[in-house]
Amino acid sequence: MKTLTIKSAILFIILNLFTAVMFANGVHFSLKVTKNTNRVMIAKYAPINVEEEHYIVGNFENYLLVMKASVELKKKGVDSPEILAFFHSKPISIDDAFVLLDDRMEQDKRISHSLSSEEMDRMLANVQNHEFFFTIQMGVYNEKNANAFFNFPKSYDERITSKGFYRYTYGEFKTLQDAKDALRMVKEYGLENVIIIAYDDMARIPLARAIEKQQRMLDDVLAIEK
């Protein structure tokens, strides 16, 4: 199995540190609503793109704004509007959108940067590297039990442990702080006994080791910048 080298880890961190600056204008959020939604209800959130079974509504640069629009539509009776994320018009996961916008203070700099489509695809693929990450463990069961999270409004993963248990997790986060933010969100949905765990090279590792690795990677980046 491929191992994350120090060199590639440093490159990964550096790219993440600068992604928000270079791509601040490239990430946006929209809402997906069913075709039976009254167009009058969604008119204020133009543009509205018509798909085969859904409307894709709005072009929000700020996640809080799309969340606000989602709440407003629910109050109007719109059934389960789904938040979508896009990077230069290409669909990406919400988690990857957060990674691209991770350096929130830097977003306001709006640095202009010209990239080819090949460069954008290559850097996006790097952001989507899933070798080392933190995630939220929602539960571990000795048999399939996805119904336990039926009301959880976000997508989650089902992993089978080496001992044959079913582990349910939410999200893949590049930093411990992002995982802590997600943990608070998950608890707000009423899930208890949720914890942060970590994976490296697709194998679970102790959280303390993951924190140490994250710090080493950051230290390596700081050493290069000096």
Give the side-chain half-sphere CA count within 13 A for 84: 16
3-state secondary structure at position 189: coil
What pLDDT score was predicted for residue 116?
A: 54
Contacts of 154 (CB under 8 A, 6+ apart): 94, 170
Give the DSSP per-residue string, 132-148.
EEEEEEEEEESS--GGG
At 106 the pLDDT is 41
CA 113/CA 184 separation, integer angstroms:
35
Structural domain boundaries of the chain?
Answer: 19-127, 132-225
- What is the pTM (predicted TM-score) of this model? 0.45
pLDDT at 146: 74
- Mean pLDDT, contiguous 10-residue spans, the chain (226 residues): 43 44 63 87 84 87 81 85 85 76 43 47 51 90 80 83 87 88 89 91 87 82 60
Q: Given this model, what pLDDT does residue 4 score?
A: 42
Token pair recorded at residue 46? 């133009």
Please identify, in words, the CATH class of the domain defined by 132-225: alpha beta
